[in-house]
């Protein structure tokens, strides 16, 4: 905005320019979506320097729209001290006091805790934090899954409390579908084992969106997920040992060349043994490189990300692409973009559509110069940009389920609406028996499948 001259040469300051931008973003969501309520989260810890502009923006926002139109909720920790066998409220008191210094008074306290918060403790928090006793909400650690939290907060009356504070008249919520979803997550009728091959698997939250997307899709099939987290670097010499007992292989996105050869071997193992495969972003790219090398005979096929001087850049940053995406983060393709899906492809069957919108975050693309050569061997580009110049989806003609996408479908999956690619992947995994898998000879019909009734287990 400053470079466009929106501030007329004024010095850009945190107040009012940064705070005004934050408020405008909140209003923009409200105006465009036409929702009755907009939920805005400010992360971090009260008092963090980086969070102060956001808290100040909320203070101003409340003043501008009226306190009756805003509910200020504070999520706080009430720690349990094992040595004393009691819950401590002092951290919450200090946190609320800090918020008051900033100019914000919480109306609701969401109290995270290991143990139940009794009435005496609620009264104490109510008095010291100037919050109604009924607005002190207990949020205990859940037993099985985070998806139990909405049901717990409903039992605490949080939804009714918020509606009362906003003076909204609403019917009783119908939580039947959510309860069914949670039941499928907690007590599935069947289970499937899936390998996630990445280089950040030692970090619990590195692929969090992918893990949750698999959970969403599995729950829709009343299925549980057993994740086998495989370090890509460990696959250099023992890929068969690591993947012989799984019903599906997923390779997520990433950057850099560390672990790439292991991912390529995982893609090859899945292709040759007919194991359902889903490659996301970099996962699609390594599958492409593997197919080019081992099926098409392009021995030096690679990505210019890993080898800028490769003679066969099947994955590269093309000059024409660089020009097209200059306005979307220099050399990176960012945001939501349309994808045109080819008719008669597996992708069309999965999506049940030919035009979809998906979220991107990548620099490198499939080099269309190799399209015809690889197509002859069964490598199908089943989704492209509307103008047909960029490959968005790939699949293999002679494989039961081998899909790769250049985008990130995990960012669009929802608990009661799993993304089609994850749902299709889970369905394929349920139909695969690793004990009967043999190296494919080219005919996908020859691969053994397990009847659904053999997979079902009693609750």
Q: Which residues are catalytic?
A: 281, 408, 410
Taking the C-alpha atoms of residue 85 and residue 80, their distance in angstroms, rounded to an integer, is 7
The Cα–Cα gap between 258 and 260 comes to: 6
Strand spans (E) along 254-354: 277-280, 301-303, 312-316, 333-341
- Name the token pair of 115: 């143990």
Q: Where are the alpha helices (DSSP H) in 273-318?
A: 282-294
Using alpha carbons, list the distances in angstroms from residue 254 to 30, 172, 215, 317, 440. Answer: 34, 44, 21, 16, 29
- For 323, which DSSP code? H
Residue 25 vs residues 10, 42, 54, 283, 337: alpha-carbon distances, Å: 21, 13, 11, 34, 21
3-state secondary structure of 373: helix
Query: Nearest CA to 315 among 344, 282, 343, 340?
Result: 282
Is there a contact between 78 and 91 (Cβ–Cβ < 8 Å)? yes
Q: Give dist(CA 267, CA 286) in Å, integer.
A: 7
Residue corresponding to tokens 């669009």:
412
State the DSSP string of 151-203: HHHHHTTHHHHHHHHTT---PPP--HHHHHHHHHHHS-SEEEEEEEEES-TTS
């Amino acid at each position: 905005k400053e470079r466009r001259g929106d501030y007329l040469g004024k010095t850009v300051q945190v107040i009012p320019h940064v705070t005004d931008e934050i408020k405008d973003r909140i209003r923009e969501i409200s105006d465009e979506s036409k929702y009755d309520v907009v939920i805005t989260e400010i992360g971090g810890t009260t008092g963090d320097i980086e969070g102060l502009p956001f808290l100040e923006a909320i203070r101003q926002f409340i003043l501008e729209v009226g306190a009756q139109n805003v509910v200020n909720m504070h999520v706080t920790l009430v720690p349990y001290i094992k040595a004393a066998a009691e819950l401590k409220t002092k951290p919450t008191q200090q946190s609320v006091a800090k918020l008051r210094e900033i100019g914000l008074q919480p109306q609701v306290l969401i109290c995270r805790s290991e143990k139940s918060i009794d009435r005496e403790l609620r009264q104490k928090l109510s008095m010291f934090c100037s919050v109604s006793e009924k607005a002190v909400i207990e949020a205990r650690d859940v037993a099985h899954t985070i998806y139990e939290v909405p049901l717990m907060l409903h039992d605490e009356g949080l939804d009714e409390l918020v509606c009362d504070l906003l003076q909204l008249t609403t019917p009783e919520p119908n939580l039947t579908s959510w309860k069914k979803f949670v039941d499928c997550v907690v007590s599935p009728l069947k289970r499937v084992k899936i390998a996630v091959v990445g280089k950040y698997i030692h970090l619990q939250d590195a692929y969090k969106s992918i893990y949750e997307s698999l959970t969403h899709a599995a729950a829709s099939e009343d299925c549980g997920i057993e994740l086998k987290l495989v370090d890509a670097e460990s696959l250099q010499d023992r890929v068969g040992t690591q993947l012989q007992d799984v019903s599906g292989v997923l390779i997520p996105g990433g950057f850099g060349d560390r672990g790439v050869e292991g991912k390529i071997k995982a893609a090859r193992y899945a292709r040759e043994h007919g194991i359902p495969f889903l490659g996301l972003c970099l996962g699609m790219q390594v599958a492409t490189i593997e197919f080019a090398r081992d099926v098409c005979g392009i021995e030096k096929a690679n990505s210019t990300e890993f080898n800028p001087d490769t003679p066969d850049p099947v994955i590269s940053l093309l000059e024409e692409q660089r020009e097209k995406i200059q306005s979307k983060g220099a050399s990176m393709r960012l945001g939501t973009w349309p994808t045109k899906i080819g008719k008669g492809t597996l992708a069309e069957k999965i999506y049940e559509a030919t035009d979809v919108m998906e979220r991107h975050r990548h620099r490198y693309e499939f080099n269309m110069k190799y399209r015809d050569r690889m197509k002859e061997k069964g490598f199908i580009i089943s989704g492209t940009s509307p103008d047909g110049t960029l490959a968005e989806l790939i699949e293999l003609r002679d494989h039961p389920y081998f899909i790769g996408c250049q985008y990130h479908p995990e960012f669009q999956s929802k608990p009661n609406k799993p993304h089609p690619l994850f749902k299709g992947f889970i369905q394929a995994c349920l139909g695969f028996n690793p004990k009967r898998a043999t190296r494919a000879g080219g005919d996908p019909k020859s691969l053994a499948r397990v009847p659904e009734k053999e997979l079902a287990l009693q609750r």
